[in-house]
A and B are shown apart, each in its own frame.
Chain A
Amino acid sequence: MNWQLRTRAAGLNVVIPLVAVALALVSVALLLVVAGSNPFDAYRDMWNAALGDRFALSTTVTKTMPRLLAALGIALALRAGLWNIGAEGQLYIGALATTAVALHLPDLGTPLLIATSLGAGTLAGAGWALIPGVLRAKRGVSEVITSLMLVYIGIQLTNYVLEGPWSEPGSTFPSSPYVPTGASLPIIVSGTLLNAGALVGLALVVLAWFLMSRSTFGLRLNAIGGNERAAGVAGVRVPLLIVLAMTASGAFAGLAGGLEVLGVRGRLVEGFSPGYGFEAIAIALLGRLNAFGILGAALLFGALDAGSAGLQTAAQGVPASISQVAEGLAVTYVLIGLGLASILQRRRSARAALKEATHQPAAGEPDVLPVMPTESGREL
């Protein structure tokens, strides 16, 4: 029974997101029909732009990375019940710090320069998330509010640096100078956009999985997320872990910003993130707070983003924003699916209990009822 219960719940964690994505694509197709476009043409263009060839694939992977890293961080915090809404700001601050180090210490030599500047970005992101973490742990201030407010401060701080100290005379768009070539992440498949950042991303998926599912740290985060008070009573140092979880969460986002600068753009550009840090919240939820689930969800969002560029070039009068509609619908359907699943399960076990009432359970028979677990142990 235990085995069945677990597999059924685990199966739902995979099936529901997949069904939700399929439904979202169907819904968008219907919208396209209503708008007078041919959905098959639109989807074919998107497919070609996202997955059609090696170059398209590398575009998708490139667009996946910042979303993936930020989402892994958000999931880590969310396991402890902490909503790090501020990944977008941590991403900007991380990018800013990475750029600053890359620009000002060009003599370090390639491997050391990349490591130092990415390290600076990671630390900066962590530091930006440390603020809401400490406020939450020491004063009980809602991390939702503080991390969100810090997004705008982070973005404006970046804008100030780009438009003030780093502004290039004659430049039309606020951006930093290009980082030295020694600081750029190498392209790992020639003729594509695929840079070494993708390898870092994959390594971090494994790291996040380990932290969340196989470490004492992850166990304690789950305990705090499930029941903060009971975790404290059981001897978990809740305030310390809240700070650590938020900091780690920000580190992921900060690194995402750094990789975007060194791997994709080569410099810091104002408004370089179209909201990766916010989309990452949806990705973390769609991936059910599981590192590999998040990898899948981030790839989907990356592909939709890359694909929407294909729509624009095909110029069929289909707005590229339909990819965002698809993203939003996918998350909505997942939440609906999870809600339905838990209602159905509750009904089913109530019915089973009623049936059992006619015959008394044998002595020693376990009195247990199925509850749908999330991988993290959190209800979402």
Chain B
Amino acid sequence: MSSVPLVRLEGVTKAYPGVVANDDVTLELRAGEIHALLGENGAGKTTLMGTLYGLHRPDAGSIIVDGREAGIHSPRDALALGIGYVQQHFSLIPTLTVAENVVLALRGSDSKLSVRGGNARVRELAATYELDVDPTARVEDLSVGQQQRAELLKALARETRILLLDEPSAVLTPQESEGLGVVLRRLAENGVGIFLVSHKFSEVLGISDRISVLRRGRLVGTLDAASASRATLAEMMVGELRAVEARPVPAAHHDASPRLEVSDLWVAAERGGFAVKGVGFTVNPGEVLGVAGVEGNGQVELTEALAGVRRPAGGTIRVDGQPLGGRSPRRTRRLGITHIPADRHQSGLVASMSVEDNLVLPVADQSPYSVGRVLRRGAIRKLARRLISEFDIRVPGSGVLAGALSGGNQQKLILARELSRRPSVIIACYPTRGLDFGATEAVQQAILDHRDEGAAIVYVSVDLDELLSLSDRIIVLHHGALQGEVSAAVATPEQLGLLMGGAAAA
């Protein structure tokens, strides 16, 4: 291994409105190493990779490739240097075959390839790296894992020496992730340097050589994976150790009859077929039902059906014994169901409206916030002020636009709106996604407080640690069907992982 590192990022700084995404980051990538970039969501990992790939220019600092300062102004420059980037959202053309996508990726480079040659080349590459993909298959017919392999093939066909992978296992089952690890190891043995972006230390510990931890845009440190422990990494990521406290389950509520009863629920998928297939469960007052599953296995559709956003194709939902078949969000709200939607930007808040207008929106027609149809600003402001302090929303005033808040504060805003109505059922879909440690804890605590007061809670997450620490019971969805139900007290991540991958419940 030569002493000159493949890539050296020196003092890279990148600021966005309201946040410094990368602050004076200095890092090296050696040939043949898998270098994990670990950090919580929002720590600046993806921004750093984007800078290296030429998607945006750093405000300060330099990128040195092969010991020479590299002026990377665009992805084209990055590709010419042998940098390949597999982003979280794939850049494949769904209607073309794998080989056609690969050939398209090579256009403009030196290697001229026909589609037929492409098929052969893809087969050859696939065999070398044990990437199991049919070159003649259309991308749209492939599973997410196969699509990721197609992306990797694209990068390999370009003779990538520096491979950037952004959260590659987020869309994979634990078993598929293992397969990916084997492929990456093989690539590294062939001299490719790999930056592996992740927010889960459990997955980087196994396969990386070195681990760099980012926190709030800054590099906390770089460790040899061999000498790193979960505890040290966790501490580096969050700045302090988060103790998963054992919490007493309020048993009193458990004798009561179920608050939420779902049976044989079917929900149509957007592209035909069903996203939720015959799912049934009950949730008692004061109980948290965790919903586990690889992202995109029907969780969003399930929660939207429960909240009345989506009309179920079949089955029944009962709240305190009352059926709620295909009602609008307006009606389900009146029955005491509240909904923390999966995507706070798309479904949660109106970014272009003020904080107070967002808070009052669902209750605007109620006294004291309006009389007749006339809004009463004084009452609305009072409500906003109370919720802002109650939920610790960091905002200079209730007239500020919701879109100007940080992600954590936006989520607190939605929680404040949704939980202030004393709901009897809370449907929370990925409520802590993308939040830093402090905000995550605040959100979880707010939901648990309502559990203690007797609310029934459906809590969807892809983070097994989170589910195991919060839930009483956990159900696992796989391809929209109920794969199993386990008690959180006795479940293990491995057991859940197997269920998420489609294995039958033991």
Most-contacted residue by chain B among A236, A351, A371 (CB, 10 A): A371
- Chain A 216-235, CB within 8 Å of chain B: the 1/0 string? 11011011011101111111
**Interface contact tally, CB-CB below 8 A:** 142
Return the chain B residue nearest A229 by Cβ: B347
* Residues A226 and B341 in contact, CB atoms below 8 Å apart: no
Return the chain B residue nearest A213 by Cβ: B375
* Residues A2 and B353 in contact, CB atoms below 8 Å apart: no
* Residues B353 and A357 in contact, CB atoms below 8 Å apart: no
Residue A214 CB within 8 A of the other chain: yes
* Residues A367 and B406 in contact, CB atoms below 8 Å apart: yes
Given contacts A222-B350, A232-B329, A236-B361, A366 and B396 within 8 Å (CB-CB): yes
Residue B328 CB within 8 A of the other chain: yes
- Chain B 306-349, CB within 8 Å of chain A: the 1/0 string? 01010000000000000000001110010000010100001111
* Residues B409 and A367 in contact, CB atoms below 8 Å apart: yes
Instruction: Quote the shortest CB–CB distance from B339 to chain A (angstroms).
Output: 6
* Residues B15 and A371 in contact, CB atoms below 8 Å apart: no
Instruction: Quote the shortest CB–CB distance from B349 to chain A (angstroms).
Output: 6
Option from B23, B346, B397 in Cβ contact (under 8 Å) with A227: B346
* Residues B350 and A369 in contact, CB atoms below 8 Å apart: no
Residue A265 CB within 8 A of the other chain: no
- Stretch binding the partner chain, chosen from B187-195, B231-239, B362-370: B362-370
Given contacts A215-B375, A232-B309, A369 and B18 within 8 Å (CB-CB): yes
Task: Give chain A residues whose Cβ lies under 8 Å from the Cβ of B328.
Answer: 235, 237
Task: Give chain A residues whose Cβ lies under 8 Å from the Cβ of B370.
Answer: 216
The CA of A373 and the CA of B353, in the complex, are separated in Å by: 8
* Residues B350 and A227 in contact, CB atoms below 8 Å apart: yes
* Residues A6 and B399 in contact, CB atoms below 8 Å apart: yes
Task: Give chain A residues whose Cβ lies under 8 Å from the Cβ of B364.
Answer: 216, 219-220
Option from B23, B59, B349, B373 in Cβ contact (under 8 Å) with A215: B373
Given contacts A219-B357, A353-B15, A356-B20, A2 and B409 within 8 Å (CB-CB): no
Task: Give chain B residues whose Cβ lies under 8 Å from the Cβ of A346.
Answer: 17
The CA of A349 and the CA of B15, in the complex, are separated in Å by: 9
Instruction: Quote the shortest CB–CB distance from A215 to chain B (angstroms).
Output: 5
Residue A108 CB within 8 A of the other chain: no
The CA of A108 and the CA of B210, in the complex, are separated in Å by: 90
* Residues B15 and A235 in contact, CB atoms below 8 Å apart: no
- Chain B 39-56, CB within 8 Å of chain A: the 1/0 string? 000000000000000000
Task: Give chain B residues whose Cβ lies under 8 Å from the Cβ of A379.
Answer: 352
* Residues B395 and A223 in contact, CB atoms below 8 Å apart: no
Residue A370 CB within 8 A of the other chain: yes
Residue B400 CB within 8 A of the other chain: yes
* Residues A371 and B13 in contact, CB atoms below 8 Å apart: no
Instruction: Quote the shortest CB–CB distance from B68 to chain A (angstroms).
Output: 27
Task: Give chain A residues whose Cβ lies under 8 Å from the Cβ of B396.
Answer: 1-2, 366, 368
Given contacts A1-B396, A236-B361, A370 and B404 within 8 Å (CB-CB): yes
Option from B329, B330, B350, B399 in Cβ contact (under 8 Å) with A226: B350
Which residues of A (211-269) have their CB < 8 Å from a CB of B?
Answer: 214-217, 219-220, 222-223, 225-227, 229-237
* Residues B351 and A226 in contact, CB atoms below 8 Å apart: yes
Option from A3, A235, A364 in Cβ contact (under 8 Å) with B394: A364
* Residues B353 and A353 in contact, CB atoms below 8 Å apart: no
The CA of A227 and the CA of B396, in the complex, are separated in Å by: 23
Task: Give chain A residues whose Cβ lies under 8 Å from the Cβ of B339.
Answer: 233
Interface residues on A, range: 35 or more
Residue A354 CB within 8 A of the other chain: yes
* Residues A369 and B361 in contact, CB atoms below 8 Å apart: no
Option from B20, B333, B405 in Cβ contact (under 8 Å) with A354: B20
* Residues B394 and A349 in contact, CB atoms below 8 Å apart: no
Residue B360 CB within 8 A of the other chain: yes
The CA of A109 and the CA of B349, in the complex, are separated in Å by: 53
The CA of A214 and the CA of B364, in the complex, are separated in Å by: 11
* Residues B361 and A353 in contact, CB atoms below 8 Å apart: no
Instruction: Quote the shortest CB–CB distance from B185 to chain A (angstroms).
Output: 37
Option from B20, B374, B397 in Cβ contact (under 8 Å) with A353: B20
The CA of A236 and the CA of B309, in the complex, are separated in Å by: 11
The CA of A232 and the CA of B327, in the complex, are separated in Å by: 12
Which residues of A (62-82) have their CB < 8 Å from a CB of B?
Answer: none
Task: Give chain B residues whose Cβ lies under 8 Å from the Cβ of A357.
Answer: 13, 15, 20, 23, 217
The secondary-structure label for the interface of chain A is helix
Residue B158 CB within 8 A of the other chain: no
Residue A5 CB within 8 A of the other chain: yes
* Residues B17 and A373 in contact, CB atoms below 8 Å apart: no
Return the chain A residue nearest B309 by Cβ: A233
Option from B59, B350, B404 in Cβ contact (under 8 Å) with A377: B350
Given contacts A231-B361, A234-B329, A226 and B348 within 8 Å (CB-CB): no
Task: Give chain A residues whose Cβ lies under 8 Å from the Cβ of B400.
Answer: 2, 5, 368
Task: Give chain B residues whose Cβ lies under 8 Å from the Cβ of A233.
Answer: 307, 309, 329, 339, 341, 347-348
Task: Give chain B residues whose Cβ lies under 8 Å from the Cβ of A234.
Answer: 329, 361-362, 417
Task: Give chain B residues whose Cβ lies under 8 Å from the Cβ of A226.
Answer: 350-353
* Residues A223 and B361 in contact, CB atoms below 8 Å apart: yes
Residue B401 CB within 8 A of the other chain: yes
Task: Give chain A residues whose Cβ lies under 8 Å from the Cβ of B333.
Answer: 235
The CA of A303 and the CA of B342, in the complex, are separated in Å by: 51
* Residues A367 and B18 in contact, CB atoms below 8 Å apart: yes
* Residues A216 and B346 in contact, CB atoms below 8 Å apart: no
The CA of A346 and the CA of B333, in the complex, are separated in Å by: 37
Residue A115 CB within 8 A of the other chain: no
Task: Give chain B residues whose Cβ lies under 8 Å from the Cβ of A369.
Answer: 17-18, 404
Residue B19 CB within 8 A of the other chain: yes
Residue A378 CB within 8 A of the other chain: yes
Task: Give chain B residues whose Cβ lies under 8 Å from the Cβ of A222.
Answer: 350, 352-353, 357
Which residues of B (16-47) have their CB < 8 Å from a CB of A?
Answer: 16-20, 23
Task: Give chain A residues whose Cβ lies under 8 Å from the Cβ of B341.
Answer: 230, 233
Option from B16, B217, B346, B401 in Cβ contact (under 8 Å) with A229: B346
Task: Give chain A residues whose Cβ lies under 8 Å from the Cβ of B375.
Answer: 214-216, 219
The CA of A99 and the CA of B481, in the complex, are separated in Å by: 63
Which residues of B (228-273) have their CB < 8 Å from a CB of A?
Answer: none
Residue B181 CB within 8 A of the other chain: no
Task: Give chain A residues whose Cβ lies under 8 Å from the Cβ of B330.
Answer: 235-237
Task: Give chain B residues whose Cβ lies under 8 Å from the Cβ of A3.
Answer: 397
Residue B168 CB within 8 A of the other chain: no
The CA of A315 and the CA of B464, in the complex, are separated in Å by: 81
The CA of A225 and the CA of B353, in the complex, are separated in Å by: 10
Which residues of B (179-232) have their CB < 8 Å from a CB of A?
Answer: 217
Task: Give chain A residues whose Cβ lies under 8 Å from the Cβ of B409.
Answer: 367-368
Residue B502 CB within 8 A of the other chain: no
* Residues A353 and B18 in contact, CB atoms below 8 Å apart: yes
Residue A26 CB within 8 A of the other chain: no
Given contacts A222-B357, A229-B347, A233-B307, A367 and B394 within 8 Å (CB-CB): yes
* Residues A368 and B405 in contact, CB atoms below 8 Å apart: yes
Residue A336 CB within 8 A of the other chain: no
Q: Which 10 A-B pairs have the closest CB atoms?
A: A369-B18, A2-B397, A226-B350, A226-B352, A349-B17, A354-B15, A357-B20, A377-B352, A235-B330, A369-B17
29 CB-based A-B contacts, threshold 8 Å: A2-B397, A2-B400, A3-B397, A210-B374, A215-B375, A216-B364, A216-B373, A223-B353, A225-B352, A226-B352, A226-B353, A227-B352, A230-B346, A230-B348, A230-B349, A233-B348, A234-B329, A349-B18, A350-B17, A351-B15, A353-B15, A367-B19, A368-B404, A368-B406, A368-B409, A369-B18, A377-B352, A377-B357, A378-B352
Residues of A whose CB lies within 8 Å of any CB of B are: 1-3, 5-6, 210, 214-217, 219-220, 222-223, 225-227, 229-237, 346, 349-351, 353-354, 356-357, 364-371, 373-374, 377-379
Residues of B whose CB lies within 8 Å of any CB of A are: 13, 15-20, 23, 59, 217, 307, 309, 328-330, 333, 339, 341, 346-354, 357, 360-362, 364-365, 370, 373-375, 394-397, 399-401, 403-406, 409, 417
